[in-house]
Chains A and B, each alone.
Chain A
Amino acid sequence: MTARNFVFAGAALLLALGLGACGEREQVIVYKQGKYQGKPDTKPWENDSAANPYPGSRWSKGDKTSWESAVRTRNLAQNEYTRAE
């Protein structure tokens, strides 16, 4: 290998190293199906409201829609204009 080739190889290596930091990686954590970014956690609607002695709302265990409906009712209670009517 000639000295010229060495220079070319060195320059290519420096260029690759120099540009190595220019890449942009995805910084937003990707959702993993069935888990919250890899952490296990129970969904709120999977709890049994009937087992709670002091439930805020009632919903059918495992039924996301009924839990959402129960929370929405609770949420709307924050509007005192409708409560006063």
Chain B
Amino acid sequence: MARMKFLCDAERCIECNGCVTACKNENEVPWGVNRRRVVTINDGIVGAEKSISVACMHCSDAPCMAVCPVDCFYRTDEGVVLHDKDLCIGCGYCFYACPFGAPQFPQAGAFGLRGKMDKCTFCAGGPEKDLSQEEFSKYGSNRLAQGKLPACAEMCSTKALLGGDGDVIADIYRQRVLKRGKGSEVWGWGTAYGKPDQKAAPAGAKS
């Protein structure tokens, strides 16, 4: 079994926020918590606007796991990074460590009390009994236990967001790039940090 991964195709994402809505609906995520969100750069600039859907990337060597003082994280056989809310103390250390800002903290009460961490589970629930009410109330839906893939990816209207076995979605993406002849440049070092011979960003570009 390869590892479960998400891949978002910036050439296809239309910033509809359908994935965000699907996630909130499927997992009944409380107000103030967004397990998934759509990030747009160069908003409104024709030809330069790109959107990407971001959530927990289920890192192979997850920094949140490394820094957690109470060791509440674990990784499943499918490569999904999950956590135990009974162990979590809501310290927020994982939030500092995560490069994607995936960990979320529900706020309740007059003084904004920080609750236990909540994040994307790849629709794989948590340590409680699979498909139980306890699991759903703490972690949301467990679609992997039903032979399904995450709701966000499965309902994406343009199939910009792919989720599942890393090898399979990489093949789908590769075929897509070959058919349309572009798109692979949205990934990699050169795109993230620029190339030495690359021209400056378009005038008026903003993030």
B176 at the interface (CB under 8 A from A): yes
Q: Which residues of B contact A79 (CB under 8 A)?
A: 159, 172, 175
Consensus secondary structure, chain B interface = mixed
Closest chain-B Cβ to A63's Cβ sits at a distance in Å of 12
Q: What would be 10 A-B contacts, judged by CB atoms less than 8 Å apart?
A: A28-B61, A28-B65, A29-B74, A36-B74, A41-B74, A47-B146, A74-B149, A78-B162, A78-B163, A81-B175
Contact, CB under 8 Å: B82 / A59: no
Closest chain-A Cβ to B6's Cβ sits at a distance in Å of 11
Distance in angstroms between the alpha carbons of A58 and B145 in the assembled complex: 11
8 Å CB contact of A47 from B73, B145, B159: B145
Segment at the interface with A among B35-43, B121-129, B188-196:
B121-129
Contact, CB under 8 Å: A70 / B147: yes
B33 at the interface (CB under 8 A from A): no
Contact, CB under 8 Å: B1 / A75: no
Given A28-B61, A75-B149, A44-B84 contact (CB < 8 Å): no
| Size bracket, chain B contacts | 35 or more
Q: Which residues of B contact A57 (CB under 8 A)?
A: 146-148
8 Å CB contact of B143 from A31, A56, A68, A76: A56
Distance in angstroms between the alpha carbons of A76 and B153 in the assembled complex: 12
A4 at the interface (CB under 8 A from B): no
Contact, CB under 8 Å: A44 / B154: no
Distance in angstroms between the alpha carbons of A37 and B64 in the assembled complex: 14
Residue ID in chain A nearest B146 by CB atoms: A56
**Scoring A residues 60 to 84 as 1 if CB is less than 8 Å from chain B, else 0, what string do you get?**
0000100110111011101111000
